[in-house]
Amino acid sequence: MFRPLLISLLTLAALPVSAQEVYRFGDDAYMAGDNVTLSGDAVDDAFIAGNTVVISAPVEGSAHAGGRSVSVSGPVGNNVYAAGMNVNLAASVGGDAQLAGDTVLVAAPVSGDLRVAAQRVEITGSVGDSALVAAENILLTEVIAGDASFATDNISFGANARIDGTLYLYAEDVDAIDVPDHVVSADRIERLAADEFDGSASPEGGATRAPESNGGFLSWLGGKIGAILTLTVVASVVAYFAPGFLMGLRDRTLESPFRAIWMGFLSISALAGALFVLGATGYGILLAPFAILGAVLLGIAGYVIGTYLLGVGAVKLAGQPLPVTFLERAVAALVGAVSVTVLALIPVVGWPMVLAVTLAGAGALMIRWFAPGFYTEV
């Protein structure tokens, strides 16, 4: 999951930057700017963001690139992760390639798996393993050594095109797609409905969406119970090690619940929004992932804290005293976990209510740590 997140960070961080910035740490290269070109000596890993991105230097490890136009013309020893309006892979890749854009051109050999999401894809370089491609239009002129999963309504093949494994075709009218025998024999073609395609699946063995469990309602209920128990355990552990701290958070939340929600909103928004400020410095791109990670961790902490505080409130509302023993705290955590799970199931208003609980927990934490104030005299 980190790779798509990193590509998104690189792409967004490039938007406010107008001048090329270069930073090298060890054998890795970090660059951000308007028109960015990585050239010269080989690097280990490359992390590049900009409006126009060109990687012409050899990359011995993996290349990560994001921008409006991305071109990889230097050989990459390991994997390539690239996203942009136009992506052109014009040099050999020793590992896998994961590409996304409007137009994606794969004009060089990829030794491992190929995964592409685009409007138009041209595969004119060989693929050493399997390929998973989702696009409106696909052109294949070379060899795919493994399986191929294509989700498309328009595909064409060159004279040298060949798929050595099984071809999994996903389309609205899959029977209307003609596949020549020289590409793959009819007995190695599986034709499937478009809605069965799963872009997150492994390229090998097809990308068919896993069927729903036969458990039906029981399976769904089991999943909910598992989530409740997990949340209960986490909240109980936190309450065990920091009971006084949580009670302090409860007091601050009760003093001004809307202030807690507001502070939670501001804190998470500030961490997530720091991405753009850090990206504007060029060098700050190194810290951008930590800002997003901080926002995610604060959200998780807020969810756990808010759940426990909700459970304590529900227990007290039922006429019980505030929890003192570990068992009482565990019961409060269980009540809170059940409460947020039930809230989430309420149509329309349920999810905003769970979000409010999360923001209140995060805000209470920020108020306890930093004691921010508004309209105060200096």
> Using one digit for the tens of pLDDT, what is the confidence trace for 313-365?
888 888 888 888 888 888 888 888 888 888 888 887 888 888 888 888 888 88
Q: Give start and end residues of each alpha helix (H) in 29-146.
A: none
Whole-number Cα distances in Å, 61 to 5, 107, 298: 19, 20, 32
> Which pLDDT tens digit goes with each residue over 118-158?
899 999 999 999 999 999 999 999 999 999 999 998 999 99
Question: Whole-angstrom Cα distance, residue 44 to residue 39?
Answer: 13
Structure confidence at residue 211 (pLDDT): 55
Confidence of residue 9 (pLDDT cuts 50, 70, 90): very low
Q: Any bridge partners for residue 37, and if so which?
A: 54
> Which pLDDT tens digit goes with each residue over 214-272?
455 666 677 778 888 888 888 888 887 888 887 877 777 777 778 888 888 888 888 77
Structure confidence at residue 125 (pLDDT): 96
Segments making up each domain of the chain, as ranges = 2-196, 217-370
Residue 317 burial (CB count, 10 A) = 8
Single pTM value for the model: 0.56
For residue 197, with 0-12 CB atoms within 10 Å meaning exposed, 13-18 middle and 19 or more buried, which class applies? Answer: buried
Structure confidence at residue 213 (pLDDT): 47
Structure confidence at residue 95 (pLDDT): 95
